[in-house]
Amino acid sequence: MNHGGDIWTYGKIGELVDFSSNINPLGYPEGLLTKILEDFDSVHRYPDIQYRALRGHLSEYLGADPENIVVGNGAMELIDGILTSVKRVLIPVPSFVEYELRAHIHGLEMVFLPMDKQLRPMLDIWGEYIRESRDASTALVIANPSNPTGYVFTEEQMLELIDLCQISQVELILDETFVEFTDVNYDTIQIASVFGFEGVSVIRAATKFFGIPGLRLGYGVTSSRMKAFLDQRLNPWSVNALAEIAGSVLFQDRKYIDQTKQYIRKERSRMLNALSQLTFLKPYASDANFILLKLHSMTAVELFEGALTRGLLLRTCDNYRGLDHHHIRVAVKSRSDNERLLQYLQEVNQIGK
């Protein structure tokens, strides 16, 4: 399985700059280590099997009722769990590769939804598929922002999607793992809370935005019906005790949250601008902390291998259904790391001329 973040296969830790996984480049919140040291003895007991304190912290952060909040070992454990409640799933193309893999494992029928040439959703066509799914035990799983494109749904599109799914009784799984990196001007949690999340699950993660992929912490807001289903379905204690206590530090660190948002906004714009001046590739418009590139005059593997000799790990995308060996993805990293990448790409551009 080709995944981002696999520095273990390609080199030694500390020798590679990892542009292949989309983790907050500011590191993790300052208070995290102190809190974990303070409560380290929690490794010697089981986590609360109901994660009451953790769900309480999430409740404040998200403005949602704790009774609608679920936690998991990364966002995918929750998405995977919800997928086991249906027989059929609609998946946009391209999407994060795990959706299709997990659907395959659970023996679900898969229906693929098209994107346009700019890899934006074609809601007219999606609407037909959604309406056809009525009474067929179907889920639609979409990422907002999309991965690997970084496309954010407009509020109008999002309301239309939710409405379509509600009318057609399609279970909507909104994977908002990267949403805090965007400047989205609506909150799907507030939108769906109006009808108690019936038929809509909003899944997010501390993993990416709070820079702790190693600690494993995903969460979601969902209906009490789906929460009861997941409480039974997921393996017990799948969130470890250190991730559990981290919840009392992460979600209230406004300084870290604001700094991250400001930094990503500015740096993404700077990178998109620099990338758009290169002639051998085209960046797709992104509102997230990563950018998908289409290469005109070389393959993704050629660029991947060239970058690797400079200590830069990129993400080839040919295992994304709907993309090919000309697509490659890069994360927004620290200013100096981004400079190294841009400089390398400018050199490649120069040679290609």
Asked if 3 is part of the footprint of a second copy (rule: CB under 8 A), the reply reads yes
Residue 351 contacts a second copy per CB under 8 A: no
Q: Which stretch binds a second copy (CB under 8 A): 17-25, 54-62, 259-267, 277-285?
A: 17-25
The least distance separating a second copy from the CB of residue 346, rounded to whole angstroms, comes to: 28
**Binding segment (CB under 8 A) for a second copy, from list 25-33, 161-169, 281-289, 334-342:** 25-33
Give the Cα separation of 184 and 302 in Å (integer): 35
Task: State yes or no: residue 47 binds a second copy (CB under 8 A).
Answer: yes
Site map (CB under 8 A) of a second copy, residues 144-183, x = contact? ----------------------------------------
Q: How far is the CB of 233 from a second copy (least distance, A)?
A: 6
Restricted to residues 64-103, the positions that interact with a second copy (CB under 8 A) are: 73-74, 76-77, 80, 98, 101
- 23 binds a second copy per the rule CB under 8 A: yes
Of positions 214, 305, 310, 324, contacts a second copy by CB under 8 A:
214
43 sits near a second copy (criterion: CB under 8 A):
yes
d(CA 190, CA 324): 37
- CA proximity to 172, closest of 208, 202, 135: 202
* Rounded alpha-carbon distances, angstroms, from residue 150 to 42, 197, 348: 37, 25, 24
Taking the C-alpha atoms of residue 255 and residue 58, their distance in angstroms, rounded to an integer, is 17
Closer CB to a second copy, 233 or 340, in the complex = 233
Give the distance from CA 231 to its chain's centroid: 23
Choosing from 213, 220, 247, 283, the residue that interacts with a second copy (CB under 8 A) is 213
CB of 155 to a second copy, least distance (A): 32
**What are the C-alpha distances in Å from 103 to residues 109, 141, 155, 219, 336?**
8, 11, 28, 20, 39
Nearer to a second copy, 115 or 245 (CB): 245
Tell me the C-alpha distance between 275 and 332, whole Å: 12
Nearest Cα to 307, choosing from 269, 338, 271, 272? 338
Applying CB under 8 A, among 240, 248, 299, 349 the residue interacting with a second copy is 240
Q: How many residues in the shown chain lie near a second copy by CB under 8 A?
A: 54
Q: Could you say whether residue 50 binds a second copy (CB under 8 A)?
A: yes
Which of 32, 200, 323, 341 binds a second copy (CB under 8 A)? It is 32
C-alpha dihedral sign at 222, 223, 224, 227: negative
Contacts of 8 (CB under 8 A, 6+ apart): none
Question: Which residue, 19, 18, 23, 29, is CA-closest to 259?
Answer: 29
* Residue of 12, 236, 254, 277 interacting with a second copy (CB under 8 A): 236
Contact 123, 161 (CB under 8 A): yes
DSSP one-letter string for 13-29: TTTSEE-SS---TT-S-
Query: Which residues are paired to 72 by β-bridges?
Result: 218
Q: Does 189 bind a second copy (CB under 8 A)?
A: no
- 58 or 184: CB nearest a second copy: 58
Cβ neighbors of 242 (< 8 A, separation 6 or more) are 36, 40, 42, 43, 215
Residues lying near a second copy in the complex (CB under 8 A): 1, 3-9, 13, 18, 21, 23, 27-28, 32-33, 36-37, 40, 42-50, 52, 73-74, 76-77, 80, 98, 101, 105, 211-216, 232-233, 235-238, 240-244
